[in-house]
Amino acid sequence: MTGAKDPLLNVENLRVEIDFNGAWVPLVDDVSFSVKPGETLGLVGESGSGKSVSAMSLMGFMGRQRGQRLSGTAAFQGKDLLRLNDRELESMRGNEIAMVFQEPMTSLDPAFKVGHQIAAGIRVHQHVTAAQAKEMAIEAMDKVRIPSARVRADSYPHEFSGGMRQRVLIAMAIANNPSMLIADEPTTALDVSVQAQILALLTEMKEDLGLAMIFITHNMGVVADICDRLAVMYAGQIVEEGDVFETFAAPQHPYTDRLLAAMPSIASRRGSLEWIPGSPPKPTDFPAGCRFAPRCRHRLDSCEQPTTLLEISPGRSNRCLRGNTWMEENES
Amino acid sequence: MSTDKIVMQTEDLKVSFPVRRAGHSTTVQAVRGVDITLRAGETLGLVGESGSGKSTLARALMRLIPSEGTVKLDGRDVSGLKPGAFRKERKRIQMVFQDPYSSLNPSLTVGASIAEPLKVHTKLSAAERAERISEVLALVGLNADYADRYPDEFSGGQRQRVAIARAIVLNPEILVCDEAVSALDVSTQNQVINLLEELRDKIGLSYLFISHDLAVVRHISDYVAVMYLGEIVEEGPVDRIFGAAAHPYTQVLLNAVPVPDPVAQRATTKLLLRGDIPDPTNPPSGCAFHQRCPFAMEICAQKAPPKVEIPGGGVAKCHLHTSGPVLAGRAISSLTEAGTETGIGAAYDGTPKSTLPAVAVSGNLESSL
């Protein structure tokens, strides 16, 4: 890694809480990460680990309603995303940071032609005529390889397959040339062969347009395919963060280690599949010390202490209180 | 653990639904002549993408929807049986569904849910039922006192255990698992899979395991069938299918699964299919895959390919094994593996190769680059 660029997005101590029967309960806390221009960060973890909540709070969709609160900073191009007012949020969304969701079925309005929907998004941010916006929409559809984009612009969402609908959403997301894309499980609802097409498209987009991406997924195979770095979330916190190749080769946190070991492989058959005893704690019962400790096979009494995400080598961080001393206990 | 005893077999099973398209009534053939064989103690993995007909096939086997063709249970043709007569057979074949949140009645205790099949199919007394419920709860790794609790007190993985307990309470021979672990996180998924494997050995179950997750299918199955547009295009022993796929569609499907290893994943040449599964109300002529196949020949549009036996076990329906560059059962990868310059990826990129007839490659696939 030469010529380290300044981060495009720098999140520090993000904390999102909700009012639960009169008490503030943290959904995510002490979440810090950064994304450089053109870089793809994978935010991975199981359901309920806080990956979507983190992303949604950056976009202003979470933490701002009644019964919710937000703290920390998210520096993005000279602004703090967590402190934008509604008008500033609106001009940022879709324009500087765009988001693609999991469900290509429900993210489009069934009553409007897709070209119209993409054009509407363009006209929110750019002073162009309806005709110009339509041309730009067709261009965006072309970019995401929708065949005969000019004709398809006049089709309704139900006339598209799931994969094509996801392309429409990506077209919508890139139509205003954002510098960052947040993709929340964009391929989870798709068949594998379609997922492969969308991953190839996103890889192409990030290279051609220099897009930075936050890619939220629970699928380690997808992370291995598309991400440059990954941040592993557990019970509302990042437990490990680092380069994808280094992390897969030698995970530093026992949770990452177990998660990777649990992935069934298409290449070979093992005796029985690995699993982690117990289940993740609910936000109302987060332990005061290491949140993974109750399920961790390397747990010591000292693991009851609060944890911090520490940089262990350039570009790699780990939240395990035992550092990497647990590794020698792994398997005889 | 599999023996040669066949517990279930279908012959030319067909399912069609009436649909309306653009104001016209027509039928869609969701299952188009499927032959499957399930042996005692064996797990048959059924893979395919959405719209391939795998869930419809499962529903037809359970007689939840009408079908044509033959279904034999233990060698006996049950397809002609009236609903009342089939009811007796239904306890031999039970099903576990994908969503443990909607497959259990929230207003019934777990015990009451598991008791229902016993009430319908057996004459057990209340005390005997309670004993049997504790037995199956123990089998799926749950406490006997959970019987008095309600589904909302349980996690997704525990609910799926309850659903499995309910499915095995009648001592069936066959369990049809339709995406039974797809809604679960990986650790929970693995526990449920380990449980299914344990039960197979302990009480001698056979599984029809339907899943879109090929890594899971690789793990649990003895034999695998690949469905495309209502047909089984290839089937065979799990190691042969995953090691030497004989049908181009199988190969694409396996290639599309991202592996959790960035070095291997990025070194793989990606084979990307263009287009989508064709409209089932108007399936293509000849081989249903020919419009998307990088190796399509003239014959593929004209004639449906016959079943060809593949060395190593199983069959494939593909003209490549009988016509054109004759593969005669060899793995599809052997077609282009010979020269490094014309590797298999190049074929899928639409680059013509001398070994193939001119019509073979016409840019049916998108470049992955």
Minimum mean pLDDT among A133-147, B293-307, B353-367: which range?
B353-367
Q: Using CA atoms, how far apart are residues A131 and A57, in angstroms rounded to an integer?
A: 34
> For residue B345, which residues of chain A lie inside 8 Å, CB to CB?
none
pLDDT at residue A4, as a whole number: 60
Q: Which of B50, B259, B366 minimises the CB distance to A267?
A: B259
Bridge-partner residues for B34, per DSSP?
Answer: B13
- Partner residues linked to B228 by β-bridges: B231
Which chain B residue lies closest to A159 (C-alpha atoms)?
B279
The pLDDT score that the predictor gives to residue A198 is 92
Within a domain: B183: yes
Determine, yes or no, domain membership for B1: no
Q: Which of A73, A74, A76 is nearest to A95 (CA)?
A: A76
Among the listed residues A326, A327, A293, the one whose alpha carbon sits nearest the alpha carbon of residue A307: A293
B259 vs A269: CB contact, 8 Å cut-off?
no
Contacts of A27 (CB under 8 A, 6+ apart): A16, A17, A18, A50, A53, A236, A283
Inter-chain residue contact A264 with B218, CB threshold 8 Å: yes
Taking alpha carbons only, the member of B23, B21, B28 closest to residue A159 is: B21
Per-chain mean pLDDT for chain A: 93
What's the confidence (pLDDT) of residue A252? 96
Q: Do B258 and A222 touch (CB under 8 A)?
A: yes
Mutation target for A interface from B50, B182, B185: give the one with most A CBs within 10 A: B185
- B266 and B346 in a single domain? The answer is yes
Closest Cα in chain B to A221: B260
Judgement on whether residues B140 and B207 belong to the same structural domain of the protein: yes
Q: What is the mean pLDDT of residues B40-69?
A: 93
pLDDT at B86 over 80: yes
What chain A residue is nearest to B255 in terms of C-alpha separation? A193
Q: Is residue B236 in a domain? A: no
User: What residues form DSSP beta bridges with B235?
Assistant: B225, B315
**Interface residues from chain A to B (CB-CB < 8 Å):** 46-47, 145, 161-164, 191-197, 199-200, 218-225, 244-245, 248, 258-260, 262-267, 269-270, 272-276, 279
Distance from CA of B355 to the nearest CA of A (A): 26
Q: What is the pLDDT of residue B362?
A: 33
Report chain B residues whose CB lies below 8 A from the CB of A164.
276
Mean pLDDT over residues B153-162, rounded?
Answer: 92
Same domain, B257 and B221: no
Distance from CA of B145 to the nearest CA of A (A): 19
E strand spans, chain B: 6-21, 24-34, 37-39, 43-47, 68-73, 76-77, 93-96, 174-178, 206-210, 223-228, 231-237, 272-273, 307-309, 315-317, 365-366
Arithmetic mean of pLDDT, B109-134 = 95
The answer to whether B194 contacts A196, with C-beta atoms less than 8 Å apart, is no
Residues B158 and B216 in one domain: yes
How big is the CA angle at A231 (ends A225 and A237), to the nearest 5 degrees? 150
Q: Which residue of B has its CA nearest to A245?
A: B262
Residue A329 is predicted with a pLDDT of 85
Q: How confident is the model at residue B277 (pLDDT cuts 50, 70, 90)?
A: confident
Q: Is the model more confident about A289 or about B349?
A: A289
Write out chain B residues lying below 8 Å of A42, CB-based. Answer: none
- Inter-chain CB proximity A196 and B256 less than 8 Å: yes
Say if B282 falls within a structural domain: yes
Kindly report, residue by residue over B302-326, the tens digit of the pLDDT: 999 999 999 999 999 999 999 877 8
The pLDDT tens digits of the residues spanning A88-124 come to 999 999 999 999 988 767 889 999 999 999 999 999 9
Same domain, B163 and B277: no
Closest CB from B253, B256, B262 relative to A244: B262
Which residue type does B287 have?
C
**Domains contained in chain B, number:** 2
Residue A200 and residue B212: Cβ atoms within 8 Å?
no
pLDDT in tens, B175-214: 999 999 988 899 999 999 999 999 999 999 999 999 999 9
What pLDDT score was predicted for residue B341?
Answer: 42
Residue B16 pLDDT > 60: yes
Confidence of residue B354 (pLDDT cuts 50, 70, 90): very low
Are residue B224 and residue B249 in the same domain, yes or no?
no
> Mean of the pLDDT values across residues B233-238?
98
Of the pLDDT bands very low, low, confident and very high (cuts 50, 70, 90), residue B50 is confident
Give the pLDDT score at B255. Answer: 93
pLDDT band at B24 (very low <50, low <70, confident <90, very high): confident
B52 and B154 share one domain? yes
**Residue A212: in which H helix or E strand, if any?**
strand A212-217
Instruction: Name the 3-class secondary structure at B189.
Output: helix
Domain that holds residue B71: 6-228
CB-based contact A221 B155, cutoff 8 Å: no
CB contact under 8 A, B215 and A272: no
If you compute the radius of gyration of chain B from its CA atoms, what whole number of angstroms results? 22
Q: Which residues contact B332 (CB under 8 A, 6 or more apart)?
A: B245, B246, B247, B248, B250, B251, B295, B318, B320, B344
Instruction: Choose between A268 and A119: higher pLDDT.
Output: A119
Confidence of residue B133 (pLDDT cuts 50, 70, 90): very high
Angstrom distance (rounded) from CA B240 to CA B105: 41
Residue among B155, B253, B272 whose CB faces A279 most closely: B155
- Contacts A192 to B, Cβ<8 Å: 49, 212, 214, 253, 256-257
Q: What is the pLDDT of residue B357?
A: 37
Cβ-in-10-Å burial (0-12, 13-18, 19+) of B367 comes to middle
Q: Please check whether residue B238 lies inside any domain of the structure.
A: no
pLDDT at B49: 87
Cross-chain residue pair A221–B252, CB shorter than 8 Å: no
Cα separation, B198 vs B200, in Å, equals 5
Residue B335 φ then ψ, to 5°: -60, -40
- Looking from the CA of A213 toward its CB, the CA atoms found within 13 Å total 29
Pick from B187, B202, B228: which residue ends a domain? B228
Contacts of A276 in chain B (CB under 8 A): 187
User: What CATH number is attached to the domain comprising B107?
Assistant: 3.40.50.300
CA-to-CA separations, A280 to A32, A49, A297, A324, in angstroms, rounded: 21, 8, 14, 22
For tokens 């309704």, what's the residue?
A156
Contact A190, A164 (CB under 8 A): no
B194–A contact, CB cutoff 8 A: yes
Residues 6+ apart with CB under 8 A from B344: B251, B269, B271, B332, B333, B335, B336, B337
B347 and B213 together in one domain: no
Same domain assignment for residues B135 and B206: yes
pLDDT band at B274 (very low <50, low <70, confident <90, very high): confident
Q: Which of B201, B228, B255 is the last residue of a domain?
A: B228
- Contact between residue A114 and residue A144 where contact means Cβ atoms under 8 Å apart: no
Residue with token string 């068949």: A191
Tens-digit pLDDT profile for residues A175-229:
999 999 999 999 988 889 889 999 999 999 999 999 999 999 999 999 999 999 9
Give dist(CA A146, CA A149) in Å, integer.
6
> DSSP states of B242-292 as a string?
HHS--SHHHHHHHHHSPPS-HHHHHHSPP-EE-S-PPPTTSPPSSSTTGGG
Is the model's pLDDT at B332 over the cut of 70?
Answer: yes
Band the pLDDT of A332: cuts 50, 70, 90: very low
Q: Chain A: nearest CA to B169, how far in angstroms? A: 25
In chain A, what residues touch B253 (CB-CB under 8 Å)? Answer: 192-193
B190 CB within 8 Å of a chain A CB: yes
Instruction: Quote the minimal CA–CA distance from B366 to chain A in Å.
Output: 9
Closest Cβ–Cβ partner in B238, B260, B265 for A260: B260
d(CA A48, CA B172): 36
* Residue A37 contacts residue A179 (beta carbons within 8 Å): yes
- Chain A CB contacts of B257 under 8 Å are 192, 221, 266
Choose among A196, A263, A276: nearest Cβ to B260.
A263
The pLDDT confidence band at residue B328, using thresholds 50, 70 and 90, is: confident
How close, in Å, is residue A258 to chain B by CA atoms? 9
Cα angle A139-A143-A146, degrees, rounded to a multiple of 5:
90
Same structural domain, B89 and B147? yes
Residue A18 has pLDDT above 50, yes or no: yes
- pLDDT grade, residue A293 (50/70/90)? very high
Residue B234 falls inside a structural domain = no
Amino acid B337: pLDDT? 58
Chain-chain contact of B265 with A221 (C-beta, under 8 angstroms) = yes
Reading the block at residue A231, the tokens are 């941040």
For A63-84, the pLDDT digits (tens) are 999 999 999 999 999 999 999 9
- Interface residue of A164, A248, A255, A266 to substitute, partner B, most B CBs within 10 Å: A266
Q: Are strands B6-21 and A310-313 parallel, antiparallel or unpaired?
A: unpaired
Q: What percent of chain A has pLDDT over 90?
A: 83
pLDDT at B350 over 90: no
Q: Length of chain B in residues, anyone?
A: 369
In B, residues 270-289, which contact A (CB 8 Å cutoff)? 270, 272-273, 276
Q: What interhelical angle do A254-262 and B186-203 show, nearest 10? A: 50
Distance of CA A331 to the CA centre of its chain: 32
Mean pLDDT value of segment B272-277? 78
Q: Exposed, middle or buried: residue A172 (CB in 10 Å: 0-12, 13-18, 19+)? A: buried
Domain limits, chain A: 9-96+179-329, 106-177
> Which of A190, A192, A258, A279 best tests the B interface by mutation, with the highest count of B CBs <10 A?
A192
Name which of B245, B366, B229 is nearest B285 in CA terms.
B229
Angstroms from B204 CA to nearest CA on chain A: 18
Mean pLDDT on A14-40: 96
CATH of domain A9-96+179-329: 3.40.50.300
Q: Which residue has the tokens 């770095």?
A: A229
Same domain, B139 and B264: no
CB contact under 8 A, B272 and A200: yes
For B196, name the nearest residue in chain A, comparing CA atoms only: A272
pLDDT at A254 over 50: yes
Q: Where are the beta strands (DSSP E) in A109-206?
A: 180-184
Q: Which helix (H) or strand (E) holds B126?
A: helix B126-139
* Candidate from B103-107, B323-327, B346-350 with smallest mean pLDDT: B346-350
Q: Which of A221, A120, A327, A92 is nearest to B216 (CA)?
A: A221
State the pLDDT confidence band at A257, using cuts at 50, 70 and 90. Answer: very high
Last residue within a domain, chosen from B193, B228, B263: B228
- Residue B157 contacts by C-beta under 8 Å, 6 or more apart in sequence? A279, B184, B188, B191, B192
Torsion angle in degrees (nearest 10) through CA of B215, B220, B224, B226: -40
Higher pLDDT, B50 or B168: B168
Q: Assess whether B208 and B255 both reside in one domain.
A: no
